[in-house]
Structures are given as C-alpha cells and as structure tokens.
Chains A and B, each alone.
Chain A
Amino acid sequence: MTHAAATVDQMQPPFPAERGLDVYNKKLGMWVFLASEVMFFAALIGTYVILRFGATGEWAKPGIVLNIKITAFNTFLLICSSVSMVKAYAAIQDGDPKKMRFWLLMTILGGATFVGIQVYEYIHLVEHGFVPSGVREGSELAALVANGTLPAATMGLYGSTFFTMTGFHGFHVTCGVISMAYLYFTKALPGKYSKQDYGGIETVGLYWHFVDLVWIILFTIVYLI
C-alpha cells in the first residue's frame, strides 16, 4: 500500500478516472472543453487574418490607435497571475492550504485588475473615437483618418475585429475570475482542499493558463503586428 502511494503521479488525485486515459473526470472534461476553445479562438484569429491580409487597403500601423504600453503591462500582469495560479497549485500539492489561499487570492486580484484595465482601455478608445464600426465622425481619430495617418478603407474591419477578439477574451478572463472567486469562497476558505483533494484548483488552473496562452497570441497579432 505504501509502495502504491509512493508511485502515484502528482497529476492523478484519487478521483474517478476515465479508463484508458487514466485522468480524473474533472480534468479530462476541462481538457475537452479547452480543445473546443482552441477551435473557437482559431475561428476568431482566422477571420482576423483573412480580413486583414485579404483587405484591399493598408491596415492601421501598430501604436497609433491602441495604447501599447498599458496593454504590455496588462500582458505582464496576466503572466504574473498565471505564475501565482501555478504556485497555488504547487502549495496545495505540498499540503499547505494557507499558502494556496494566498496565491489563489493573488490570481483573482491579478485577473480582476486585467479586466479593469481592459475596461479602462475600451473607455479610452471609445472617447478617442475608436468604436466597433470603425472611427466615430468628428472624433480625434477621424482627424487622423482625414489627414491620411490612418487608412479610411480598413478602419471598420480593424474596429470590429479588435473589439470582437479582445472582447471575447475579456469575457473568458471574467469567467475565470468568477470561477476562481467561487472556489476561493466555497472551497478554499472553508478548508475543503487538501493534499489528497485539489482537483478544483488544478482544473480551474488549466482554464486560467489557457486564457493566458490565448492572450499571448492575441497580444502579438492584434497589438504588435
């Protein structure tokens, strides 16, 4: 029995597992969901690539419409929250629920701050005239379109693809924050997680890292290219 316990993989908490895959059900369910999410974001990214590189006119150069500095900070924040999530996972694996609660709380705060900054960015963009349909007439950006700094022909596509992709990602981050907050208050605070039972932390962690991974790709293709 002692020998059997010593050879158990740390990724295999003693929960009901699917035969063959030998992964506990909650985790397998999350991986299947993430596989479907890959296709969801592939559709968004694919549409963006087709619209951008298939467009007849030039695309707005990076840094003119969007605030790169604040988004770069937001990217760094999401990376930090991914680290804090994996630290929470490692802490509960080591049987330290106090440390796990601390890192989980840091992750929730990091995610909430990311969403807050994104909302601030949206408000700022709309104030300057960048809207999902393109550029608002009479705005600061409309003047840049008029003097040729921004291309008139593709601003509508730019606006709709930008807000669709970053909006759906922001929705995913919001869902992640709500899920983590739910686990924090209903499971982590009452001390329901232990060295033997941490499936919820691992499962929500997988989702959170996936959201971070998607942002890494989106940040490059939307803000830097």
Chain B
Amino acid sequence: METAHKRPNYILIWVYLAVLTAAELALAFELPISRNLKLLLLLFLAVWKAALVGLFFMHLKFERWNLRIMAIIPLPLAVIFILAGMSEHIW
C-alpha cells in the first residue's frame, strides 16, 4: 500500500506535547496571574494537546470527512451534557 498523504513528523508532535506540558506546569505553579485567567489558559493548553493527539496520532487530520464527523459528534454532545448539569446545579 502506498501512502496517500505525507506522514506527520511524530517526533515534532511529541516535542510540542512535552513543551505544552511544561508550560502547563509553569502556568499552574509559577505564574502569579488571576485564578480565572489561569483556569482558562490551562483548559486551552489541555484542549490544544488533546487536539494534537487526535489530529496527528489518531490521524483524524488525514481521515475521510465522514469518519471525522463520526469522531467529532460526541464532543458537542458531551459539552451540552456537562453544561446542562452545570445549569441545574451551579448557575
């Protein structure tokens, strides 16, 4: 079988993930910023790392659109599910 797309540089993705993990630790324990800003930035970094794993290690970036949709559909459902629970108990 021939490759239909250029293979991603897995080591480069690994370096990104390692650097982002180090950035998370520095942000959580070293940077003197407000708690809410810290929370937002940490969540952003976590989503960024998760996206790198999904797109490049699970090859979603190179998959057919129908499989990508199937993989992505549970994510908004999960967010709705969590927000619905929060709306009832927190807000």
Task: Give A83's nearest chain B residue, CB to CB.
Answer: B14
**A35 pairs with B50, CB closer than 8 A:** no
Given A83-B11, A206-B58, A212-B53, CB of A53 within 8 Å of CB of B86? yes
Give chain B's interface residues, CB within 8 Å of chain A.
1-5, 7, 10-11, 13-14, 17-18, 21, 24-25, 27-29, 38-39, 42-43, 45-46, 49-50, 53-54, 56-59, 62-64, 66-67, 70-71, 73-75, 77-79, 81-82, 85-86, 89-90
Determine whether A209 belongs to the interface, using a CB cutoff of 8 Å to chain B: yes
What residues on B are CB-neighbors of A210 within 8 Å? Answer: 58
**A224 pairs with B5, CB closer than 8 A:** no
Instruction: Report how far A63 CA is from B5 CA in the complex, Å.
Output: 44
Minimum CB–CB distance from A57 to chain B (whole Å) comes to 14
Minimum CB–CB distance from B54 to chain A (whole Å) comes to 6
Task: Give A224's nearest chain B residue, CB to CB.
Answer: B28
Going nearest first, the 3 A-B pairs with the smallest beta carbon separation are A42-B78, A220-B46, A46-B82
**A22 pairs with B1, CB closer than 8 A:** no
Task: Give A220's nearest chain B residue, CB to CB.
Answer: B46
What residues on B are CB-neighbors of A177 within 8 Å? Answer: none
Complex interface bits, A9-21 against B, C-beta within 8 A gives 1, otherwise 0? 1111100000011
Task: Give A53's nearest chain B residue, CB to CB.
Answer: B90
- Chain A residue total in the interface (Cβ 8 A): 61
**A79 pairs with B24, CB closer than 8 A:** no
Taking a contact as CB atoms closer than 8 A, the residue among A46, A82, A224 that contacts B42 in the complex is: A224
**A31 pairs with B3, CB closer than 8 A:** no
Given A35-B70, A212-B53, CB of A50 within 8 Å of CB of B85? yes
Q: Which of A1-42 contact B (CB under 8 A)?
A: 5-13, 20-23, 28, 31-32, 34-36, 38-39, 41-42
What residues on A are CB-neighbors of B77 within 8 Å? Answer: 38-39, 42
**A54 pairs with B89, CB closer than 8 A:** yes
What residues on B are CB-neighbors of A76 within 8 Å? Answer: 18, 21
**B86 pairs with A86, CB closer than 8 A:** no
Minimum CB–CB distance from A151 to chain B (whole Å) comes to 15
What residues on B are CB-neighbors of A12 within 8 Å? Answer: 1
Instruction: Report how far A111 CA is from B51 CA in the complex, Å.
Output: 21
Complex interface bits, A61-81 against B, C-beta within 8 A gives 1, otherwise 0? 011000010001001100110
Determine whether A225 belongs to the interface, using a CB cutoff of 8 Å to chain B: yes
**A196 pairs with B81, CB closer than 8 A:** no
